[in-house]
């Protein structure tokens, strides 16, 4: 079902059409499995016939191929902490593009970039650059297995994603194509529960090479949680791998490990570290990392070796991002923007008496929302309603994750859109949501079928 222009005019909204985006989506499914190269960007994540295809962006704003303009949240799946096209970053990249793209020997920036990370990240002693978060997190697991001589890995089951590789995807509903022999090598533990991880170590004595988790997603760490994990890893001879793909720079310029005084053996960074350019980082203890180099006293680990690894323009982007984050206190700004946004949204929801049905979760720099039905149960149909009504009002918000470019005008526009959504949400609670969502509901990105 297509958006009805008459309804839009009745509500006083500027009519948005999606003919070009819908034609693109239809054609894309013929050539691209799933219609997009990232599952979280799929049109199934958006209301039917209202999945904008992006043409360009500037700061916090984006324009689709139909000419519609939006305030964009989600920040490139949390990667664009500075927004789209910041001039200092673009200039830094351009200067290196003109000097060559790839070479048969390392570029001079590689040492400078590595030293920058060692100086920045508390646990960093050696550095290896990759292209995306999956690469470096899998490399960390491989190092841990080589260092400990063990095969198993324990991952936090309450956190959504660590890698596209078999050792993690085997834990998800999309585990088709992964050998059965691999599936028994990954076990899971809940967040903020030290005792559950202790039970895993007891159940698999001497078999777990490493634990893998993020510092925080939507729930903050309980007092003493990370100290307890550190003691368990030391006691049982396992490595502690901290995934900072999202939290790095967003939580603090020195990472969430600095905020929460976490002591990992290995940690990984990506996304915001180069403002969305393809760069990721594996760093950590020297005695572990050295196994990926030239060693005489142990078997060498094939760590990361990529034709496009450590590109000078990507490293230049990272160096510019780190400089900007320090000079402009970007992590503080992200928290301030998120605090203002949260305060405004939660007020209009509370004023409408709907706080039990729409909830903001997570740290203020990394806000997500939950939409609930009349029983208080999280609902994909009600999430579709929120997305649909916000898109109508020029707000593209799969989450409310901010970038440093968001300003008071963006926040005011977003809060106004949420306020206009409230009576529609109330109507859906009272009379049913299905007639208001224009077609099928959105679906989880990682699911078994369909």
Structure confidence by residue, pLDDT tens digits, 98-117: 889 899 999 999 999 999 99
Structure confidence by residue, pLDDT tens digits, 124-155: 999 999 999 999 999 999 999 999 999 999 99
Inter-residue contact 389 to 424 (CB < 8 Å):
yes
What's residue 6's pLDDT? 43
Return d(Cα 268, Cα 153) in angstroms, integer.
16
Return d(Cα 437, Cα 269) in angstroms, integer.
38
Domain 102-310 has what CATH class?
A: alpha beta
Return d(Cα 284, Cα 264) in angstroms, integer.
7
Structure confidence by residue, pLDDT tens digits, 49-90: 999 999 999 999 999 999 999 999 999 999 999 999 999 999
C-alpha to C-alpha distances, 404 to 36, 135, 165, 200, 318, nearest whole angstrom = 27, 27, 32, 41, 16
- pLDDT > 70 fraction of the chain, expressed in percent and rounded: 97
Model confidence at 248: pLDDT above 70: yes
Q: Do domains 5-84+329-436 and 102-310 have the same CATH topology?
A: no
Inter-residue contact 365 to 331 (CB < 8 Å):
yes
What does pTM read for this prediction? 0.94
Return d(Cα 62, Cα 54) in angstroms, integer.
7
Structure confidence by residue, pLDDT tens digits, 202-225: 999 999 999 999 999 999 999 999
What's residue 410's pLDDT? 98
Query: Could you tell me the pLDDT band of residue 450, with boundaries at 50, 70 and 90?
Result: confident
Distant-in-sequence, close-in-space partners of 356: CB < 8 Å, separation ≥ 6: 372, 376
Return d(Cα 209, Cα 145) in angstroms, integer.
5
Return d(Cα 15, Cα 7) in angstroms, integer.
9
What's residue 8's pLDDT? 43
Inter-residue contact 107 to 301 (CB < 8 Å):
no
What's residue 167's pLDDT? 96
Concatenate the DSSP letters of all residues of 76-128 into one string.
HHHT-TT-B--HHHHHHHHHHHTT-S--SS--THHHHHHHHHHHHSTT-SEEE
Burial (CB count within 10 angstroms: exposed 0-12, middle 13-18, buried 19+), residue 446: middle
Model confidence at 27: pLDDT above 50: yes
Domains of the chain: which residue ranges? 5-84+329-436, 102-310
Return d(Cα 159, Cα 191) in angstroms, integer.
8
- Does the domain at residues 5-84+329-436 carry the CATH identifier 3.60.15.10? no
Model confidence at 366: pLDDT above 90: yes
Inter-residue contact 271 to 133 (CB < 8 Å):
yes
Return d(Cα 332, Cα 20) in angstroms, integer.
39
Q: How far from each other are the two terminal CA atoms of the chain, in whole angstroms?
A: 19
Strands (E), 113-265: 126-130, 152-156, 186-189, 208-214, 239-244
The mean pLDDT value of the chain amounts to: 95
Average pLDDT on 424-437 reads 97
């Amino acid at each position: 079902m297509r958006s009805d222009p008459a309804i839009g005019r009745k509500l006083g909204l500027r009519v948005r059409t999606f003919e070009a985006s819908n034609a693109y989506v239809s054609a894309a499914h013929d050539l691209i499995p799933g219609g997009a190269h990232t599952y979280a960007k799929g049109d199934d994540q958006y209301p039917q016939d209202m999945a904008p295809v992006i043409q360009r962006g500037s700061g916090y704003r984006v324009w689709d191929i139909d000419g519609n303009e939006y305030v964009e949240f989600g920040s490139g799946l949390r990667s664009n902490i500075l927004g789209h096209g910041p001039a200092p970053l673009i200039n830094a990249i351009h200067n290196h593009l003109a000097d060559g793209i790839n070479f048969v020997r390392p570029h001079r920036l590689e040492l400078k970039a590595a030293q920058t990370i060692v100086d920045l990240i508390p646990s960093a002693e050696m550095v290896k650059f990759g292209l995306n978060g999956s690469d470096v997190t899998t490399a960390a697991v491989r190092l841990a297995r080589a260092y400990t001589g063990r095969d198993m890995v324990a991952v936090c089951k309450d956190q959504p994603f660590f890698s596209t590789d078999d050792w993690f995807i085997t834990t998800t509903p999309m585990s088709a194509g992964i050998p059965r022999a691999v599936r028994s090598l990954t076990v899971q533990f809940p967040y903020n529960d030290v005792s559950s991880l202790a039970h895993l170590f007891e159940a698999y004595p001497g078999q777990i090479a490493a634990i893998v988790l993020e510092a925080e997603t939507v729930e903050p760490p309980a007092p003493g949680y990370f100290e307890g994990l550190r003691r368990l890893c030391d006691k049982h001879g396992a490595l502690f791998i901290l995934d900072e793909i999202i939290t790095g720079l967003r939580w603090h310029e020195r990472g969430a490990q600095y905020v929460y005084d976490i002591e990992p053996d290995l940690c990984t960074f990506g996304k915001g570290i180069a403002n969305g350019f393809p760069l990721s980082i594996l760093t950590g203890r020297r005695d572990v990392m050295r196994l990926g180099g030239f060693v005489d006293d142990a078997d060498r680990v094939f760590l990361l070796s990529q034709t496009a690894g450590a590109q000078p323009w990507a490293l230049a982007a990272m160096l510019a991002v780190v400089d900007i984050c320090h000079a402009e206190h970007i992590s503080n700004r992200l928290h301030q923007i998120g605090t203002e946004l949260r305060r405004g949204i939660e007020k209009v929801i509370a004023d409408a008496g709907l706080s039990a049905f729409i909830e903001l979760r997570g740290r203020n720099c990394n806000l997500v929302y939950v939409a609930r039905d009349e029983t208080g149960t999280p609902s994909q149909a009600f999430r579709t309603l929120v997305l649909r009504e916000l898109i109508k009002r020029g707000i593209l918000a799969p989450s409310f994750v901010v970038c440093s470019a968001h300003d008071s005008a963006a926040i005011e526009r977003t809060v106004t859109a949420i306020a206009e959504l409230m009576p529609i949400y109330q109507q859906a609670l009272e009379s049913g949501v299905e007639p208001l969502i224009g077609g099928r509901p959105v679906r989880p990105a990682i699911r078994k079928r369909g």
